[in-house]
Amino acid sequence: MQARALTTEEYFVESEPYYEATGDEIAIFEAAYQNKLPVLLKGPTGCGKTRFMEYMAWRLKRPLITVSCHDDLTASDLVGRFLIKGGETVWVDGPLARAVRAGAICYLDEIVEARKDAIVVIHPLADDRRVLPMEKLGTLLQANDDFCLAISYNPGYQSVLKDLKQSTRQRFVALEFDYPSADLERKIVAKESGVDTALAEKLVKFAHMTRNLKGSGLDEGASTRLLVHAGKLISSGVEPIAACRSAIAQAITDDAEMLAAVRELSSSIF
Amino acid sequence: MAPAAHPDTHAPLSAEQISHALEQWLEVEFTFIQVDALAASIASLPREDQDFLLGWVRRIATTNIQIAHQFALRAISQLAHMDRRMIEAWALHAMDTYDRAGSSPAFKVINELDNFAQLSHEHAAGALFEEVGGILLTFVRGLSGRHLKLEKGEATYTDSETLFLPAVVAQMREAADNFKLCKAMVALLWAQTRFGTFRINLNEALSTYPDSVKALKQFHALETLRLEACIGRELPGLYREMQRLKTETGVSLPAGWEHHAADLARPEASVADSLRLLERVYPGATPDAVCYQGELRIDAVAASIATRVEREKMLLRVKLAQELEKQTIETRRDAPNFDVKQVANDHNDLPRLEITLDDAPIAPPEGVNQLLTSIFLDLGEIPPEYLVPAGPGEYDASLLEEKSQDPDTVWQGTYHEEGASLYPEWDFGRQHYRKNWCVLREREVTPLNDGFTQQTLDKHSGLVKHLRRTFEAMRDENRLLKREPSGDEVDIDALIEALADARDGREMNDRLFMRMHRSERNIAVMFMVDMSGSTRGWINDAERESLVLLCETLELLGDRYAIYGFSGTTRKRCEIFRVKSFDEPYGETVQRRIAGISPQEYTRMGVAIRHLSAILNEVDARTKLLITLSDGKPDDYHDGYRGKYGIEDTRMALIEAKRSGIHPFCITIDTEGRDYLPHMYGAVNYTVIGDVKELPLKVADIYRKLTR
């Protein structure tokens, strides 16, 4: 595919993304969308939250604007700011304001990483007012009827300092995501990476081993995404043990002893 | 020392030189050990071996002279057969045993080298437990099933909760293969717990045979066959390795056993099948043990299961009761109906167990999944009586959790190590750690309500004002940065200037924005206060005054801080006194505790540094400081901590702290401190204060300089 530039509100998901439902999350999201309720996606990294959002954007035929939140993200980064062009100040909308105007789905990934002012600015959007205060313009932006706000949050590893406040979380319909069941995960890995079912099963088994280690030296076990990466390497002819080391073990830890142990686990399976 | 002083470092040492050194180390004057013959045989070795051997003799002699002598006698002949690493491990194991169990078990280790490592060939390159234990523990935790422990034992066996491996495994020629062998041993022991070897009462089942030892051996061999097949299904890669090891060590089955092996390899074969086959093979020959087979110690298993089953049953019922309470169902008339559903799964995998309450699945309370798995492994099911929530007062709380004991009551019995933390200590003579050497307890300072804080603040009111001013200036507050090249808002002043410039035809400045700068001061500091007996009087007062002033100023800065005192007598009674922990606010209680700081006993510093570093490392901060307020050298009663030993241990503890990312600093009033502090803390990481009265003034000032 050739690279091309799109404005954010033109980004429609054109072909159906591969997504396997693990429960009733699709129906709930649709119902929330029809009722103009914002949605909170909870779950560990790499278990399909972002893919779910792409799938829903495709299903609802709305543009998807994704903002990955980082610890320097301020309210201005979301709402917009004045810039100077040719001696004049010009207002430029931020991604959230664009989504509100265009009736897009705005997905704020890892919302707790953002600064507090950025988290608070979504409050009036997330209740029945559905307005975005544009403080610097002195205006309120009433959301387009098609607009939808979704945020994601990983309760697992973030520090206590970065917990989502009750005043924020209690505005959302929450969907919990977890790693899919072994059968489903096997299916996903096989489909996404092109390895056969037997190999996918081994990869899933390996992932479960690393997930057993959560809390005894690992912050997080191998995610479905990492399994897909490993599967893709294997499909391209990389040895399974080497693929697991590069795509999974090295990705989840830097600790030499943990790496050695994880390698022993993978060499036991393959 | 004689050998090191020899001018030619390559030529072998003469018998005379060696016996001179040995006489010194082995204190021949008092012990009357004859060293001449020993020296003569060492003299015939190449210089490299001499240095190696003598080095270890010297190190062991600092622990026990007789052990050092025995080591020297036996090691000479072993140098040709054993890897150096193995000899070292042997010496260390002997010293550890001496620390733990005294001299006669240590002699046993030295004298029974063959027990220490099963050597079947020359030049053994063994896998040492110290080196492989960490990796294998993580490995076994990754496998499904109970949360197992891994420890060093005298043989390879399990009690169904802890897996034991010997200190060294050296049957194979290559180091890599010895590691593989350890891994296979661990996997087989794991398989015993995972695939139900202990699900039946083995004592009972085997007692029907006249020769129960033979029956146990045969049963073990049959189970090993069955478990190998289980491993083959679960971990095919490891299974291949195990087959290879087996072939290399050349063990073959007696006639007719192939048939049994095939029988036991069926996926549905269970421990009952092994018992059934035992009846058939019992009259015949017993196969040799496979290299990774280890031992089956059914008494250890029975003891461990007996306590665990009771405990886990109670624990589950208590957890269910707690869960029920949480549900807050006001008008529940009928009894709660807990049930466990097995979520269907493959034959191989452990079933996923789901707790339901009145047929609706509930989120399992913390730890319950692990508990269910453990119970399932023991019993093969979750019996209905396990699912009755415990009524109030129905259980013995001591069964539930190993509760930490109240340190004060523990002291009333002597030297109980229960509930205390154990820390290693660096023995510089041995050039190695003494394991679990110090027994440390954390206690609270008894608060004293005598208005000490107020008196101090009044006494130093001028100083307090000065400190407040300087520290306020250090506060890194959120502030607006103007004239930035990028930012959240337009800097109108800058813009107007720039536009004016542009009109005049000058170059237009591009720094037109404002940006919020956020405070990034992210410091956690631990104050470690000397509470040894030598601080009695002035020094103690000065220490307490310094702490009050420090707290006052640190509150201004907003840095996180904790204050702990340390003291103790002997390695068995090290004490840490909590004055203020990191999450405790500074208030009246802390003030009273500062007032209550009183001189105790000795200064065993190493263990205090290790304990406080561990606490400090739990805090998430960018900069971590460990500041020691002290009045002198490390010192302790009786067991040789005074002098070089104490300094070297303290130095090692500080090196460990630095390695974990802590910056240690020492403030002392010992004017001789310049002699030893550079060695311990490094050239710039200490301050000597000449006059005790200056301490309160200096401490805050030093802190300011350190964190600027």
Interface probe with B: pick from A117, A268, A270, most Cβ of B within 10 Å: A268
Tokens 């146990």 locate to B216
Distance separating alpha carbons of residues A136 and A115, to the nearest angstrom: 18
pLDDT of residue A246: 93
Tokens 């008494």 locate to B299
Asked whether B131 and B111 are in contact (CB, 8 A), the reply is: no
Distances (CA, A) of A99 to A19, A76, A142, A185, B320: 24, 15, 11, 33, 47
Asked if A159 and B135 come within 8 Å (Cβ–Cβ), the reply is no
Which residues of chain A fall short of a pLDDT of 70?
Answer: 1, 156-162
Asked whether A233 and A194 are in contact (CB, 8 A), the reply is: no
Q: Which of A74, A182, A212 lies closest to B142 in CB terms?
A: A212
Q: Rounded to a whole number, what is the largest CA-CA distance in chain A?
A: 67
Distance to chain A for B657, nearest Cα, Å: 18
Q: Which of B142, B345, B620 lies closest to A213 in CB terms?
A: B142
Tokens 């180390």 locate to B25
Please choose, from the candidates B219, B326, B230, B337, the residue with its C-alpha nearest in 3D space to the C-alpha of residue B275: B219
Tokens 């009894």 locate to B335
Distance to chain A for B620, nearest Cα, Å: 9
Establish if A257 touches chain B: CB-CB under 8 angstroms.
Answer: yes
Question: How does pLDDT run across A10-58, given as a tens digit for each residue?
Answer: 788 888 999 999 889 999 999 999 999 999 998 888 888 999 999 999 9
User: By three-state DSSP, how is residue B705 classified?
Assistant: helix
Give the chain A residue whose CA is nearest to the CA of B619. A159
Give the chain A residue whose CA is nearest to the CA of B501. A87
Question: How does pLDDT run across B362-416, given as a tens digit for each residue?
Answer: 766 667 777 888 888 888 778 877 877 777 666 655 555 543 444 444 444 334 4
Q: Which CATH number fits domain B521-706: 3.30.465.10, 3.30.565.10, 3.40.50.720, 3.40.50.410?
A: 3.40.50.410
Distance to chain A for B345, nearest Cα, Å: 9
Q: Any bridge partners for residue B343, and if so which?
A: B352
Please choose, from the candidates B548, B630, B562, B629, the residue with its C-alpha nearest in 3D space to the C-alpha of residue B595: B548
Record the tokens describing residue B469, joined without a space. 């001013």
Distance separating alpha carbons of residues B405 and B652, to the nearest angstrom: 30
Alpha carbon B127 to chain centroid, angstroms? 21
Q: Which of B345, B512, B620 lies closest to A159 in CB terms?
A: B620
Alpha carbon B513 to chain centroid, angstroms? 52
Asked whether B657 and B614 are in contact (CB, 8 A), the reply is: no
User: By three-state DSSP, how is residue A39 classified?
Assistant: strand
Interface probe with A: pick from B139, B180, B354, most Cβ of A within 10 Å: B139
Q: Which of A89, A210, A260 lies closest to B490 in CB terms?
A: A89
Q: Any bridge partners for residue B432, and if so which?
A: B427
Asked if B139 and A216 come within 8 Å (Cβ–Cβ), the reply is no
Distance separating alpha carbons of residues B145 and B157, to the nearest angstrom: 17
Q: Check the CA dihedral B37-B40-B46-B47 and report its sign.
A: positive
Report the interhelical angle of B47-61 vs B15-25 (nearest 10°): 10
Please choose, from the candidates B471, B474, B473, B492, the residue with its C-alpha nearest in 3D space to the C-alpha of residue B483: B492
Establish if B135 touches chain A: CB-CB under 8 angstroms.
Answer: yes
pLDDT of residue B1: 42
Say how many CA atoms lie within 13 Å of B547 toward its Cβ. Answer: 33
User: By three-state DSSP, how is residue A173 classified?
Assistant: strand
Distance separating alpha carbons of residues B136 and A265, to the nearest angstrom: 10
Q: Which of A212, A241, A260 lies closest to B135 in CB terms?
A: A260
pLDDT of residue A191: 93
Give the chain A residue whose CA is nearest to the CA of B134. A257
The sheet that has A39-42: what strands, in order across it? A64-68, A105-109, A148-153, A39-42, A173-176
Q: Which of B138, B236, B489 lies closest to A81 in CB terms?
A: B489
Establish if B489 touches chain A: CB-CB under 8 angstroms.
Answer: yes
CB within 8 Å of B544: residues ≥ 6 apart: B452, B456, B594, B595, B597
Interface probe with B: pick from A203, A264, A265, A266, most Cβ of B within 10 Å: A264
Q: Which of B183, B236, B495 lies closest to A264 in CB terms?
A: B183
Distance separating alpha carbons of residues A26 and B274, to the nearest angstrom: 50
Asked whether B513 and B526 are in contact (CB, 8 A), the reply is: no
Number of Cβ atoms within 10 Å of the Cβ of B560: 18
Asked if A84 and B490 come within 8 Å (Cβ–Cβ), the reply is yes
Please choose, from the candidates B478, B436, B384, the residue with its C-alpha nearest in 3D space to the C-alpha of residue B610: B436
Task: Sort A47 into a burial class: Cβ within 10 Å, 0-12 / 13-18 / 19+.
Answer: buried
DSSP E strands, B445-590: 479-484, 489-490, 513-517, 523-530, 560-569, 573-580
Statement: the pTM of the whole predicted model exceeds 0.90 = no
User: By three-state DSSP, how is residue A85 classified?
Assistant: strand
Report the interhelical angle of B15-25 vs B36-43 (nearest 10°): 130
**Which parts of A35-115 fold into alpha helices (H)?**
49-60, 75-79, 95-102
Asked whether B81 and B119 are in contact (CB, 8 A), the reply is: yes
User: By three-state DSSP, how is residue A36 classified?
Assistant: coil
Phi, psi of A169 (to 5 degrees): -65, -25
Cα dihedral value B174, B180, B184, B187, nearest 10: 150
pLDDT of residue B380: 77
Asked if A270 and B187 come within 8 Å (Cβ–Cβ), the reply is no
Distance to chain A for B492, nearest Cα, Å: 10
Establish if B141 touches chain A: CB-CB under 8 angstroms.
Answer: yes
Question: How does pLDDT run across B591-639, given as a tens digit for each residue?
Answer: 888 888 888 888 788 888 999 998 888 888 878 888 888 877 777 766 6
Distances (CA, A) of A140 to A121, A133, A200, B29, B65: 12, 4, 51, 96, 86
Q: Check the CA dihedral B38-B43-B46-B48 and report its sign.
A: positive
Alpha carbon B113 to chain centroid, angstroms? 28
Rounded to 5°, the CA angle B455-B457-B462 comes to 130
Chain A partners within 8 Å of B183 (Cβ): 264, 268
Size of chain A, expressed as the number of residues it contains: 270
Interface probe with A: pick from B138, B350, B369, most Cβ of A within 10 Å: B138
Chain B partners within 8 Å of A217 (Cβ): 138
Phi, psi of A114 (to 5 degrees): -70, 165
Asked if A212 and B187 come within 8 Å (Cβ–Cβ), the reply is no
pLDDT of residue B55: 86
Rounded to 5°, the CA angle B276-B279-B283 comes to 155
Distance separating alpha carbons of residues B632 and A56, to the nearest angstrom: 69
Please choose, from the candidates B272, B305, B302, the residue with its C-alpha nearest in 3D space to the C-alpha of residue B374: B305
Asked if A257 and B138 come within 8 Å (Cβ–Cβ), the reply is yes
Q: Could you state, in chain order, the average pLDDT of each consecutive group of 10 residues for chain B (708 residues)?
A: 51 85 85 84 86 87 86 82 80 82 81 65 72 88 85 86 86 85 93 89 86 89 92 91 87 81 89 89 85 88 85 81 67 67 61 74 72 81 78 59 43 50 82 80 83 82 78 70 82 84 83 78 84 77 83 80 84 84 85 84 86 87 84 71 81 86 83 79 77 74 74
3-state helix, strand, coil in chain B (%, to 5): 50, 15, 35
Distance separating alpha carbons of residues B548 and B544, to the nearest angstrom: 6
Distance separating alpha carbons of residues B179 and A248, to the nearest angstrom: 23
Interface probe with A: pick from B130, B141, B177, B510, most Cβ of A within 10 Å: B141
Give the chain A residue whose CA is nearest to the CA of B343. A181
Distance separating alpha carbons of residues B597 and B592, to the nearest angstrom: 9
Record the tokens describing residue B166, joined without a space. 């010997």
Distance separating alpha carbons of residues A162 and A145, to the nearest angstrom: 32
Please choose, from the candidates B695, B278, B685, the residue with its C-alpha nearest in 3D space to the C-alpha of residue B456: B695
Asked whether B322 and B357 are in contact (CB, 8 A), the reply is: no
For chain B, give me the number of helices (H) and strands (E)? Answer: 29, 19
Of all residues in chain B, what percent carry a pLDDT higher than 90? 7
Size of chain B, expressed as the number of residues it contains: 708
Which residue type, as a one-letter code, is found at position A79? V
The sheet that has B338-343: what strands, in order across it? B338-343, B352-357, B360-361
Give the chain A residue whose CA is nearest to the CA of B184. A268
Which residue type, as a one-letter code, is found at position A194? G
Interface of A with B in 24-53 (CB under 8 A): none
Q: Where are the domains of chain B?
A: 2-112, 127-296, 300-400, 407-441, 478-518, 521-706
Q: Which residues of B188-218 are buried (b: 16+ CB within 10 A; e: fewer)?
A: bbbbbbbbbbbbeebeebbeebeeeeebbbb
